[in-house]
Structures are given as structure tokens and as C-alpha cells.
């Protein structure tokens, strides 16, 4: 029988029915008024309120109401009393979707979409760069997702990812915030420049490596061809030596991080290896070398992110030869399948609709798709439709900050191709989010918008249009999952 909420509460708050939960003699729920969202606890007496929650105690005619802000203290209490609101490892899940949420508002739409498919969401996913741009912390990111998981009564398990981390110190901050997934970015410890060195330089540098390592590389790799499923991966002597020069320090560090994670988390963590932050595509021979060396050291990974051929730029579809991408991607998928069946991870993976069918097919859905800014752009498009005056101010702020943000993001947008705001009616503003240059402009300038003078007005508008935003995110992620051909439930 549905729990009846007294009129004194429903007259003040909109209560999502999925958020209503019994806890002993109390009822815990989410309430939304015109200004904000709160966690509400209703009980016969104050003594019957569950421990751990902090807020304003109100006396109703026949019971008490504890009105709590959605802060870290109360998020921790939710995790304590409702363990399914905690993020968990998804290492045993076949298909996972990284749902980067820069606003702490998008998880409702992500959950609504994911519920239709045989996949699990990583609802809390942020990089250090995104935290710096938004003024959030890893704990903020996890807590925001906790409230939305509780509100949606989502009990199927969700992940949290400290994205593109490079140091054990930063990894520990993410782990302490409850993030069981770590995306280890090896770009700082990987000798990527050696990918372009001439033969003489490679040989000279190789000779400086440890003698035991050199002998093993010569005997185990040089001149060998390795069969991975349907694909043969040859490593000539120069390639084997180049891989040793490029990746030995990075693999040493990955092993160190893995041992650190096992000490702190046992087996309940997801380690993703990122080698995509380079200017050149990851050759299949290099991918194979890396995973073979990791396996040799008993480093178990959940996923690996190569740098693929073509352009995976922010906010727009795949740029490049789709057929050639499919040919090369198949080899990467076969290497993963033959070496532990870890997930291939697709970074900057949102909106790459042209290559989704091949990605789903070649991986057999052993994949992790990492998205981030696309949910932010859904919000931008929504405000262009619902709050055109605000959008115009956001667009202007984006133009003013574009050059500075180009130092942080690689895109090829030409802002001269974007129609001027003066030439567009309010009804035409949403169409800007179908124009690639405008999408990229707004995609990379989220930081100044979210932390500058528009912050308060922006979040007030998003609270006002929360349901419309959830519906729009759900529709957008339905498209992603459908084009990947992820099986439906």
C-alpha cells in the first residue's frame, strides 16, 4: 500500500513517489519546492528519527518533520541507512556507461535511460580538470549522485569514477570520496615522443634499459607474430624495442597503482588504463604489448582506453574515415577479447553516432563508453528553449572565454561560422545546438559559466526545469545506447 504523506508536507513540497522510503518508524523522501530540493524525514516523535541526519526539526500536529539540506552529512547518512545508494565496482559488468555530470543534476535522466538496457551507469564521473572548472570536489560529485539514486529508487548498482588521475595522492582523494573506479592516465609517465623517434635513437635508448628487461624483450617479442582471435599482431624488432622505450616506466607505475588499490580496496575496484592522451593513434602492436606486460605482472584491469584513428573531439560526431576506423577498431577489440576480455573504453565517446554500431558489434558489448559534456549540452539546449534571455548571456560569456578554454581542450571549432545572437530570434536559439561550432563553443566554456556571475541564475533555471531536463537527458542517452545496439531489458 502506498505511504500516505500528510497534506502539511505535500502542500509545500512536490514529493517524487519513487523517493518515498520507510526506515523503521520513519519515512525518508525527497521534497522539491520552488527554490531547492531537500531531504525530508517524517516520524511520530523526534526520538524515532533515524541517526545521522541533520536539519531543521519542525513539529506537525501529530508527528515531527526533519527538513535536511542535501549536503555531505545527509548523503553519508543515506549511504549508511540505504546501502544501495553507495557506488560499487562494476568490474563484473559487461557494458558500462560513464555518465559525466558536471551539474550534479543529470543522473535522473541517465537512470531513466539505463533502466531500459542491459548496462550499468557510472553516474559520478569527473576529472581533476572538470573539478577545477566547476569548483566541485570528488565528494560533491558522489553525494550529488547519491541523492538522485535515492530519489529514483535505483537499486541495480552504479559506479563512480575518478577520471584521468595521474598521481596516487589524487587517487586516494577519489577513493576516500567513495569512488571505486579509477581511470589512470599514463600520459605523464609514458614516453609518447618515442613514437616518432628514428631507428638509431630507439636502439640507443633501448640499450640503456635494464639488461634483464632487454633480453626478455628480444626473446619474447622481437620478430614474433601473436594471434589474437581473428587478428595477427606482428612485432618486429624495432617495434618491440620502441614499445619498451615508450611504456616501461608507465607499466611500472600502473603496477604500483594496482598494488595500492588492492591494498586499499581488496578486489572491489575498477582500474581503467588510459593511453588515449596522445597525438598519434595507438597501434595494435602497442596495445598488445601493454596488456601482455600488465598481465605478466598480474595487473588486472577492467578497461583500457586506446587512442583511436580519426578525431574523437568534444561535442561532435566522429571525424574521419568510418570504414578505416572499423577495420582498426576490430583489431583492438580482438586483442582485448584474447587477453582477459577487459572492456575497450571509448573516451570522448558521447555523440559519436557514426561509429557506435561498429563499437557495439566488434566488442560484443564488452565496452565502457565515457561521456561527459554531452549532458551539459542538453542543459544548454534546454535553456536556449525555455530561458532564451539567460541563454544569450551564457553564449556571450562563452565567446568571451573561448580563447582561454582552447588551452585546455582540443577542438577545431571556428566561431566565425556561428550565427550572431543578434541575427537569431528566441525561437531559433535551440538550433545552435545542432551546429557543430556552437556546440563545441558551449561545450568547453562550461567553467566560466558555472562559476561566474551567471551561476545562481543558471542553477535556479535548472531547478525550475528539472523534469524537462531529466526527460531530455533520457532521450539523448536512449539514442546513445540504441545506436550501440546494447540489448534492451
Write down the catalytic residue from 170, 185, 270, 272. Answer: 272
Which residues, other chains included, contact 268 with Cβ-Cβ below 8 Å and sequence gap of 6+? Answer: 88, 89, 180
Q: How far apart are CA 223 and CA 244, in angstroms?
A: 14
Q: How far apart are CA 312 and CA 319, in angstroms?
A: 7
Q: Which three-class secondary structure state does DSSP give residue 322?
A: helix
**How far is the CA of 479 from the CAs of 114, 179, 488, in angstroms?**
11, 27, 13
Which residues, other chains included, contact 190 with Cβ-Cβ below 8 Å and sequence gap of 6+? Answer: 246, 247, 249, 250, 275, 278
Catalytic annotation present for 364: no
* 3-state secondary structure labels for all residues of 31-82: EECCCCEEEEEEECCHHHCCCCCCCEEEECCCCEEEEEECCHHHHHHHHHHC
A 10 A CB-CB count for 132 gives 13
A 10 A CB-CB count for 134 gives 21
Return the ∠ at Cα 45 (arms to 43 and 49), rounded to 5°: 55
**How far is the CA of 270 from the CAs of 31, 395, 404, in angstroms?**
34, 38, 34
Q: How far apart are CA 11 and CA 34, in angstroms?
A: 12
Burial class (CB in 10 A: 0-12, 13-18, 19+), 125: buried
Catalytic annotation present for 198: no
| C-alpha cell read off for 489 | 531489458
**How far is the CA of 323 from the CAs of 38, 318, 356, in angstroms?**
50, 12, 12
CA 467 to the chain's CA centroid: 22
Residues 159/343, Cβ–Cβ less than 8 Å: no
**How far is the CA of 18 from the CAs of 22, 23, 151, in angstroms?**
12, 14, 6
Q: How far apart are CA 101 and CA 84, in angstroms?
A: 20
| C-alpha cell read off for 430 | 535551440
Write down the catalytic residue from 163, 170, 276, 474. Answer: 163
Strands (E), 387-459: none
String of DSSP letters for 460-486: HHHHHTHHHHHHHHHHHHHHHHHHTTP
Q: Which three-class secondary structure state does DSSP give residue 315?
A: coil
Catalytic annotation, residues? 163, 272
Amino acid at each position: 500500500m502506498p505511504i500516505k504523506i500528510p497534506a502539511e508536507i505535500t502542500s509545500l513540497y512536490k514529493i517524487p513517489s519513487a523517493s518515498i522510503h520507510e526506515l523503521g518508524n520513519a519515512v525518508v523522501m525527497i521534497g522539491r519546492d520552488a527554490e531547492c530540493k531537500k531531504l525530508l524525514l517524517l516520524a511520530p516523535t523526534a526520538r524515532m528519527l533515524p541517526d545521522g541526519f541533520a536539519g531543521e526539526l519542525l513539529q506537525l500536529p501529530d508527528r515531527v518533520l526533519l527538513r535536511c539540506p542535501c549536503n555531505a552529512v545527509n548523503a553519508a547518512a543515506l549511504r549508511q541507512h540505504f546501502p544501495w545508494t553507495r557506488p560499487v565496482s562494476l568490474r563484473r559488468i559487461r557494458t558500462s556507461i560513464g555518465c559525466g555530470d558536471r551539474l550534479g543534476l543529470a543522473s535522473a535522466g541517465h537512470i531513466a535511460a539505463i533502466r531500459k538496457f542491459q548496462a550499468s551507469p557510472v553516474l559520478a564521473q569527473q576529472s581533476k580538470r572538470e573539478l577545477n572548472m566547476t569548483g566541485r570536489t570528488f565528494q560533491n560529485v558522489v553525494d550529488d549522485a547519491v541523492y538522485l539514486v535515492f530519489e529514483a529508487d535505483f537499486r541495480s548498482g552504479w559506479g563512480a569514477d575518478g577520471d584521468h588521475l595521474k598521481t596516487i595522492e589524487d587517487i586516494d582523494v577519489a577513493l576516500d570520496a567513495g569512488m571505486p573506479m579509477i581511470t589512470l592516465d599514463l600520459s605523464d609517465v609514458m614516453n609518447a615522443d618515442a613514437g616518432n623517434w628514428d631507428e638509431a635513437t630507439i636502439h640507443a635508448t633501448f640499450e640503456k634499459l635494464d639488461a634483464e628487461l632487454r633480453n626478455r624483450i628480444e626473446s619474447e617479442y622481437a620478430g614474433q607474430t601473436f594471434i589474437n582471435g581473428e587478428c595477427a599482431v606482428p612485432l618486429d624488432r624495432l617495434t618491440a624495442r620502441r614499445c619498451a622505450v615508450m611504456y616501461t616506466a608507465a607499466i611500472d607505475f600502473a603496477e604500483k597503482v594496482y598494488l595500492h588499490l588492492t591494498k586499499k580496496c581488496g578486489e572491489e575496484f575498477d582500474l581503467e588504463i588510459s593511453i588515449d592522451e596522445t597525438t598519434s593513434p595507438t597501434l595494435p602492436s602497442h596495445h598488445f604489448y601493454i596488456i601482455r606486460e600488465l598481465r605478466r605482472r598480474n595487473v588486472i584491469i577492467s578497461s583500457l582506453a586506446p587512442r583511436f584513428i580519426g578525431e574523437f573531439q568534444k561535442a561532435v560526431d566522429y571525424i574521419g574515415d568510418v570504414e578505416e576506423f572499423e577495420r582498426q577498431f576490430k583489431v583492438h577489440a580482438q586483442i582485448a577479447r584474447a587477453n582477459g576480455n577487459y572492456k575497450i573504453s571509448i573516451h570522448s565517446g558521447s555523440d559519436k553516432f557514426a561509429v557506435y554500431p561498429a563499437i557495439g558489434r566488434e566488442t560484443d558489448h564488452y565496452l565502457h563508453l565515457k561521456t561527459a559534456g554531452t549532458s551539459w549540452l542538453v542543459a544548454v539546449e534546454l535553456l536556449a528553449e525555455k530561458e532564451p534571455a539567460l541563454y544569450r548571456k551564457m553564449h556571450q560569456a562563452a565567446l568571451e572565454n573561448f580563447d582561454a578554454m582552447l588551452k585546455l581542450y582540443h577542438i577545431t571549432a571556428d566561431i566565425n561560422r556561428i550565427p550572431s545572437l543578434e541575427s537569431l530570434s528566441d525561437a531559433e536559439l535551440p538550433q545552435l545546438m545542432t551546429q557543430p561550432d556552437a556546440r563545441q563553443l558551449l561545450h568547453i566554456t562550461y567553467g566560466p559559466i558555472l562559476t561566474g556571475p551567471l551561476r545562481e541564475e543558471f542553477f535556479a533555471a535548472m531547478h525550475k526545469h528539472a523534469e524537462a531536463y531529466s526527460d531530455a537527458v533520457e532521450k539523448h542517452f536512449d539514442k546513445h545506447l540504441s545506436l550501440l545496439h546494447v540489448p534492451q531489458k
